[in-house]
Amino acid sequence: MAADPGAGTYLYAVAAEETAGREDALPRGGAGRESPLPRGVAGGEVRAIGRAGLVAYVSTVPLDQFGEEPLRRSMEDLDWLEETARAHHRVVEAVARETAVVPVRLVTVYSGDAQVGALLEERYDDFARALARVAGRQEWGVKVYAAPGEEPDEPEERRGRPAEAAARERIAGEEAPEAGARERAAGEEAPEPGKTPERPGTAYLKRRQRQIRGREEAWRRAGARAEDIHGALSSIAVASRRHRAQDPQLSGRPESMVLNGAYLVDRERGEEFARTVERLRGQGGDVQLTGPWAPYSFAVLDDEDGGPRGGDLR
């Protein structure tokens, strides 16, 4: 394709040609044939560039939106960002439904198709390895929230740091199975019988102390529950990651998230995984299952520094 100076080639994902090689699954963007893939970012038609046994899914984007400087502005525009992110995601998911896929980070743009072809050749080994890891597998997301009353006492302070890290710190102590009972008791104000009433200030401080202690135990309990759930799910998954707990603004939920896990699960064990999540509900706190996703959390090229990112690989 002749390089248009005003246009770039936007890369969504890379798949293997063997599995994507079917005529209907490999849209070339030719006229007259309906592409099985949804429209891409900026409404562009998604096409495939095959090279070296790999297929890159791309679309042409105007550089007045996707050039270096315009992107700096565009990315500030949440409406634009949302639309672009959703379009990117739609394409990735559509490809993932057909074949093993390695999703590429948002707004990865090349000056032309030739450069994408060169990328496939140069990085063949890396892509092939990454594809082998995710082939036949799907990513599931599981989020666990603290139950009401399990929130840490100073949410403002903790906001912005991973709740699960905080939870882990607190897990260091011993288990407190009776914490629930104590926590409930902590709210009570009745003075213990047979004692002279304390001065109001002292009583308040003691009550406050009990409250805080109760909350800390409850928070620790929520963290322990998250660990249990993560452990149970990881045993079904071939790989798992704990991502940073989502901020309430991102999750849209007021409760603290104590687990934001991603699990790479063999396709045939997907139902088992979902059933396990179902079983793990009802221990307090909400457990949310999302997916199956394209393997966003497990698509890693070997030379990415630090290797697996964003969480511990177990």
Partner 1 sequence: MEPARTGIGRQASPSSSGGREPTNLGDILERVLDRGVIIAGDIRVNLLDIELLTIKLRLIIASVDTAREMGIDWWEHDPWLSGKDRGLEEENRRLRDRVAELEEGGYPRSRHDDREIEEGRSGRRAVEGETEGRSGRRVVEGRVEEGRPRRRTAEGESEGRSRRRAVRGEVEREEDDRGR
Verify binding: residue 133, partner 1, rule CB under 8 A.
no
52, 106, 128, 313: residue in contact with partner 1 (rule CB under 8 A): 106
Question: Of 48, 80, 38, 76, whose CA–CA distance to 62 is shortest?
Answer: 80
Smallest distance from partner 1 to CB 138, Å: 13
Verify binding: residue 130, partner 1, rule CB under 8 A.
yes
* Gap between the Cα atoms of 219 and 222, Å rounded: 5
37, 55, 102, 146: residue in contact with partner 1 (rule CB under 8 A): 102
3-class SS string, 288-309: EEEEEECCHHHCCCCCCCCCCC
Q: Which stretch binds partner 1 (CB under 8 A): 32-40, 204-212, 215-223, 305-313?
A: 305-313
Verify binding: residue 202, partner 1, rule CB under 8 A.
no
Q: Give the residue ranges of DSSP H helices in 237-306.
A: 248-251, 270-280
* Gap between the Cα atoms of 55 and 37, Å rounded: 14
1, 18, 70, 136: residue in contact with partner 1 (rule CB under 8 A): 70
Verify binding: residue 74, partner 1, rule CB under 8 A.
yes
Tokens in use for 147? Answer: 């139950």
* Gap between the Cα atoms of 311 and 242, Å rounded: 5
73, 129, 267, 275: residue in contact with partner 1 (rule CB under 8 A): 73
Verify binding: residue 268, partner 1, rule CB under 8 A.
no
Verify binding: residue 263, partner 1, rule CB under 8 A.
no
Closer residue to partner 1 (CB): 71 or 212? 71
Exposed/middle/buried for residue 154 (C-beta within 10 Å: 0-12, 13-18, 19+): exposed
* Gap between the Cα atoms of 229 and 217, Å rounded: 18
239: DSSP letter: E
Closer residue to partner 1 (CB): 182 or 291? 291
Helices 270-280 and 200-236: crossing angle in degrees, nearest 10, is 160
Tokens in use for 173? Answer: 């102590």
How big is the site for partner 1, counted in residues (CB under 8 A)?
A: 75
Q: Which stretch binds partner 1 (CB under 8 A): 23-31, 75-83, 186-194, 198-206?
A: 75-83
Smallest distance from partner 1 to CB 266, Å: 19
- Contact between 38 and 92 under an 8 Å Cβ cutoff? The reply is no
Verify binding: residue 118, partner 1, rule CB under 8 A.
no
Closer residue to partner 1 (CB): 184 or 309? 309
Q: Within 13 A of 308's CA, how many CA atoms are on the CB side?
A: 14
Q: Please calculate the CA angle 151-139-249 and round it to the nearest 5 degrees.
A: 35
Q: x/- site string to partner 1, residues 150 to 189, per CB under 8 A? A: ---------xxxx---------------------------
Verify binding: residue 46, partner 1, rule CB under 8 A.
no
Verify binding: residue 124, partner 1, rule CB under 8 A.
no
| Span 222-261, contacts to partner 1 by CB under 8 A | 243-244, 246-253
Smallest distance from partner 1 to CB 125, Å: 14
